[in-house]
Amino acid sequence: MIVTKPRNWARIKGNLAEIGAKSVFIMGCGECATVAHTGGQVEVLKAKLALEADGYSVSGWAVGAVTCHSGGVKLDMRKHAGEVDAADAVLVLSCGAGVQTVADAVSKPTFPGLESAFLGNVVRNGVFEERCQMCGDCVLDKTAGICPVTTCPKGLLNGPCGGMWNGKCEVLTDRECAHVKIRRRLAEQGRGLKGVIPPKDYSAKRGPGSVNTRDAIVRGKAPVSAKLRTVTPPATSADKDA
């Protein structure tokens, strides 16, 4: 299970303001985000009220059964095609993989409403594709719903690198360069990369992590936000000798 936490609301409004959005479609997730109390129907409706209180129009909303399931999300988007068409942007309350799945299924700018904290425990049979490293500092709002940290084998935040040739990745030569895809999608949406994405501080992601929603639920209230607790591992003998 992928554990998520609420994204800074000011940052979400900043994303919407950047593209001049007035109307928003909200997509939640019926699996992990519902269990984590961050992206189920209750949270989607709270986001709707919050957006409307800030002057936005909500054209519609949906909670996908599994928002990282490409086929299911495409079906959901077809069912809500009119509502999505009426929106200037889509806000997704799910993990980064879900945001990217929705971004692949619609032509509208798609923004994350949550931060992916860490992977709890997921068991599946079949074929999988890595789409999110749960860095806790999502840049999908800047990269058109395509994660460069995960989809670029070099993990480059800014690109393409000098090894890109004819739009192809130099490491995985049968794949399109992630940064070529990012730039094309931004152009298709009438957007563009604004400046350089700064380096991430990966020391802030040292684990193990912990999100506690139980106490708030026991008190009869859904958590407004969940704190990500980072535990620093004890120093090893090698650290002491260094």
Q: Residue 73: what pLDDT? A: 96
CA–CA distance, 2 with 4 (Å, rounded to integer):
6
Q: Residue 38: what pLDDT? A: 93
Neighbours of 139 (CB within 10 A): 17
pLDDT 10s digits, 29-80: 999 999 888 999 999 999 999 999 999 999 999 999 999 999 999 999 999 9
In the structure encoding, which two tokens stand for residue 50, read together? 């919050």
Stated pTM of the model:
0.72
Mean pLDDT of 79-88: 98
Statement: residue 126 has pLDDT above 60: no
Residue with tokens 């999505």: 84
Q: Residue 80: what pLDDT? A: 98
In the structure encoding, which two tokens stand for residue 72, read together? 């299911």
Q: What percent of the chain has pLDDT over 90?
A: 66
CA–CA distance, 121 with 155 (Å, rounded to integer):
24
Q: Give me the domains of the chain, ranges plus CATH numbers.
A: 2-146+204-223 (3.40.50.11860)
pLDDT 10s digits, 98-119: 999 999 999 999 999 999 887 5
Q: Residue 221: what pLDDT? A: 53
Contact 99, 92 (CB under 8 A): yes
Contact 93, 38 (CB under 8 A): yes
In the structure encoding, which two tokens stand for residue 143, read together? 């990269």
